[in-house]
Structure 1
Amino acid sequence: MFDGLAEAAAALGKAFDPPRLEQVVEALVPAIVFKPAGPEGPVAEGSQIGGTPDVPAGFVWPRPTPLADARELTGRANAEMGQEMLAHIEMGLPYAFVAQVDLGEAAKLGDVAANLPSDGRLLFFYDFPTGPWNTGTRSARVIWDTSPTGNLSQATVPDDLAAAARSELDELGDLRPDGKGGTNYGAPRRPMTLAATWRLPHPAALESEELLSSGTADKDGEAETFREDYEEALEAHHDGYTRELWRRQQLLGSPQPEQDDPRLEAVVVSKFGVQHLSREVWKERYPAIKAEAAEWTLLLQLDVGDWMQAEFVEGTVYFVIRKDDLQERHFERVVAVYQQT
C-alpha cells in the first residue's frame, strides 16, 4: 500500500531494477481502504465495519429471498454442515450487517471514488451460513441509502437475528471465554476512516496478468526470479495476506483473491447458472470468461476474520458488480463470492 506513485517508486526501487521498476509502478491499482478511526473519535453516520447501520425511520432490515429448493443448496456441503444450513434457512433469518460506507467521505478522496455515488451511504449485508456455498446475488444485499443524515439513527438488530447470535456464542463456549467477537449473525462496531491508496495487484488478480507474463521467455530464470521478488514486495508492502487484517478491507480496486479472481466466479454463476464448471468446459470457455470478467469490478472486499474480530476465522467475501450496473446504480445486482484457502 502506498499513498502515492512517487512513494511507491522510491520504495519499490529497492527491490527492482529500473526496467522492471517502471513496469511494476505502472501496474499499481488505485483503491480505497478502511483504517481504524483515530483518537478523535467516530464520525456520526460515517463509515464503519460491523455493528448496525445508520438508517431512517421505517427501515426494514433485509432478509434473503426464500429458496424454492433449500435441499439443493444444502446438498453442496457435507452432511453435518448441510443440516446446520437447513436449520438456518428454515428460520428465515435476516442478513448479517457487515459494513457502512459514507459516500460523501469517499468522494473527497477524488478520482479513486469517481465510479461511486457521491452522496448517501452504501450498506452491505451478507448471509454467512449459506454464502460460502452459494455464489450469487441471493447471498448478499447492498443498499444505497440517500436519506438526510439528520434523519438517521442506529438500527436495532432484529430480535431473531440477535437471538441467533446469542445462541452461537453459547455454543462456542470455551472458545470464546470472554464472550467477545462476532458470530455469523453480527460483529462488533468499529468506526473507520476511508483512505486512498495504490496497491500492487495480487498474482491471482486479472490486473497482474500482463505484468507477470511479460518476458515469459525466461532467460536464465529471470521470470521466476522476478515473480519471487514481486511476491516478496507484496508481503513487504501489506498487499499480501498481511497480519494487520484491517488492511484487507477494501473498496474498489483490484481484489486480493484467496483462490482465482472472484470476478471469474461471478461470470460463471451469472452466465452459466451454476456454481462450478467441469474442467473441460472451464478450459474451453476460459478465454471468453476472462474477457467478460474484465467488465466486472470489485465493490467491497471483506476479510471475515477481521470483520468478526475473532481468532481462527478464515475467508474473504468479495462483493463484485458489472461496471455498467455500478454506473447505473443497480446495486441489487451485486454478486457475492466467498473464498478461503
Structure 2
Amino acid sequence: MMLPRGKDFLPPGPLRSGHVQTMLSSSGVRRLLLPKRAQTVLQGSEPVMVNGGDGVRLTGAYTAQRSHPQSRGLAVLFHGWEGSVDSTYVLQTGSRLLADGWDVFRLNFRDHGDSHHLNEALFHSCRIDEVVHALGDIAQRFPMRPMVLAGFSLGGNFALRAAMKAQAAGLPLSYALAVCPIIDPGEGLFSLEGSAPWFYQAYFMHKWRRSLQAKQAAFPHREYFELAELKQNLRGLTAALVARHTDFESLEAYLDGYSVAGRALADMHVPCTILTARDDPVIPVDAFEKLELPANVELDIASYGGHCGFIRGWDMTSFTDDYIAARFNAVTA
C-alpha cells in the first residue's frame, strides 16, 4: 500500500507560505469556508467525563461511526495548546476518520474547552500521567480495537509521550501520529520570542490569558497569578507558572520535563509517525532533524504546510486528513 508522504503536499503558489498556512489553520475564515462534511463528527457525538486518576476529571466527546457495517477501531484525537475538541482541525480530522469507519474520541486536556471548573489545579504541559490514565479509561469504556491516536502541536507532543508510556500503562495502543509536535520546548519557546514574528506570541498569549481568567472565575478563592505576572511575556508567565504551580526547580527543568528531543523516543515500542513542515514558523525544523529514532518511528518532513496547516486549496481542506486516515487504515489492513 502506497501511503501519502509529506513530499506529496504541494499547495498552489499563494499557499506555499508557512505564515499563510499557519494563520489560516485556526482562522474563523477557514471554518466558514470548509465543506459541511468537515463537521459531521459533531452529529450524534456524546459528551463524556473521563477519569484522569487521583480525582482528576477530563472532558471529551465520542462519536460512533455509522458508515460501515463494522467499526475499524477507535481513533483518539488530541488538540493543541489552548485548542479544544471543537478546534477546526480536530473536527475536520475526526469527520474524515468517521467517514472511513472509525469511532472517534476527542479528548480535552485539563482547562481546555469549557472544563476550567472541573479541577482546581492548573493545566501545565507535564501533566502526562492524567492523560495516560484518561486513555486507559477511554479504552475500557469503548473497547473497539485497534486503538490509534493522533495529536496536533502540543497534542502531538502528548501523543508521543503517551505512546512511550503505553506499554507500561497497559494501553492497547496500536499506533500514534503527531502533526507538528513540540519537540524541544526550550527551543520552541525561544523561537516564538526571537525568530518568529511578534504576532504568534501575541496570539498565544491572548488565548492563554483568557484561559487563566476563566480559571480564576471558576475558583475565585484562589489567586493563580498576580496582575503583574499576567502582563509578562511568554517566558515570564511560564516561569511564574513553574514557580507557583509545579514542583520543578527552574523553568529549564520544566521545559525538559516534556521534551521529546534527542534520544527521548529511542525506546518507543508503539509504531509512530511524526509529520512536520520545513516552513513551520512555530516549531523549528532543526529539532526534528536532530532526533535519534528507532526503526518503528517514521519522521516525515514536508517542504510546505506551516504549523498544523497543510491546507490544500481555497476549500480550506487539509492534506493531513488523507495522511492520517491512510495510516490509520493501514493499521487495519
TM-score under structure 2 normalisation? 0.24
TM-score under structure 1 normalisation? 0.24
